[in-house]
Amino acid sequence: MTVSFSIIKEDARTGARAGVLHTLRGDVETPVFMPVGTQATVKTMTPREVWDLGGRLILSNTYHLYLRPGADLIREAGGLHRFMGWTGPILTDSGGFQVFSLASLRRIEEEGVWFRSHIDGSEHFFSPEKAMAVQEALGSDIAMAFDQCAPYPCTYEEAREAMERTSRWALRCKEARRREDQALFGIVQGGVHRDLREKSAKDLVELDFPGYGIGGLSVGEPKDIMYQVLDYTVPLLPREKPRYLMGVGSPDCLLEGVARGVDMFDCVLPTRIARNGTVFTRDGKLVVRNAGYARDFRPLDPECDCYACRHFTRAYIRHLIKANEVLGIRLTTIHNLHFVLELMRNIRRAILEGNFYDYKEAFLARWNKN
Amino acid sequence: MTVSFSIIKEDARTGARAGVLHTLRGDVETPVFMPVGTQATVKTMTPREVWDLGGRLILSNTYHLYLRPGADLIREAGGLHRFMGWTGPILTDSGGFQVFSLASLRRIEEEGVWFRSHIDGSEHFFSPEKAMAVQEALGSDIAMAFDQCAPYPCTYEEAREAMERTSRWALRCKEARRREDQALFGIVQGGVHRDLREKSAKDLVELDFPGYGIGGLSVGEPKDIMYQVLDYTVPLLPREKPRYLMGVGSPDCLLEGVARGVDMFDCVLPTRIARNGTVFTRDGKLVVRNAGYARDFRPLDPECDCYACRHFTRAYIRHLIKANEVLGIRLTTIHNLHFVLELMRNIRRAILEGNFYDYKEAFLARWNKN
- Contact call for residues B277 and B247 (beta carbons, < 8 A): no
Task: Give the Cα separation of A50 and A54 in Å (integer).
Answer: 7
DSSP E strands: which ranges in A243-290? 243-245, 264-266, 278-281, 284-287
Task: Give the Cα separation of A161 and A193 in Å (integer).
Answer: 12
What is the distance, to the nearest Å, from the Cα of residue A296 to the centroid of all Cα atoms in its chain?
Answer: 33
pTM value is 0.98
Q: How many CB pairs lie under 8 A apart between chains A and B?
A: 97
- Contact call for residues A90 and A60 (beta carbons, < 8 A): yes
Interface with chain B: mutation pick from A326, A331, A333, A334, highest number of B CBs within 10 Å: A326
CB contact under 8 A, A330 and B84: no
Give pLDDT, residue A104.
84
Active site residue A72: no
* Adjacent-strand bridge partners of A34: A266
Give pLDDT, residue B106.
83
Does A168 contact chain B (CB < 8 Å)?
no
Active site residue B141: no
Q: What sign results for the dihedral spanned by CA atoms A213, A151, A65, A278?
A: negative
Of B85, B294, B327, the CB nearest to A41: B327
Residue B365's contacts (CB-CB under 8 Å, 6 or more residues apart) are none
Chain B residues in contact with A80 by the CB 8 A cut-off are none
B346-354 mean pLDDT: 98
CA distance A180 to chain B (A): 26
> What tens-digit pLDDT sequence spans chain A (370 residues)?
699 999 999 999 999 999 999 999 999 999 999 999 999 999 999 999 999 999 999 999 999 999 999 999 999 999 999 999 999 999 999 998 999 888 787 899 999 999 999 999 999 999 999 999 999 999 999 999 999 999 999 999 999 999 999 999 999 999 999 999 999 999 999 999 999 999 999 999 999 999 999 999 999 999 999 999 999 999 999 999 999 999 999 999 999 999 999 999 999 999 999 999 999 999 999 999 999 999 999 999 999 999 999 999 999 999 999 999 999 999 999 999 999 999 999 999 999 999 999 999 999 999 999 7
In degrees and rounded to multiples of 5, residue B106 shows phi and psi of: -75, 140
Of A295, A315, A326, the CB nearest to B326: A326
Nearest to A278 by CA among A247, A321, A227, A319: A321
**Active-site hit among A93, A203, A263, A301:** A93
Chain A residues in contact with B39 by the CB 8 A cut-off are 319-320, 323, 325
- Contact call for residues A18 and A351 (beta carbons, < 8 A): yes
Give pLDDT, residue B198.
98
CB contact under 8 A, A297 and B323: no
Q: Is A18 helix (H, G, I), strand (E, B) or coil?
A: strand
Where does the pLDDT of residue B33 fall: very low under 50, low under 70, confident under 90, or very high at 90 and above? very high
Task: Give the Cα separation of B66 and B74 in Å (integer).
Answer: 9
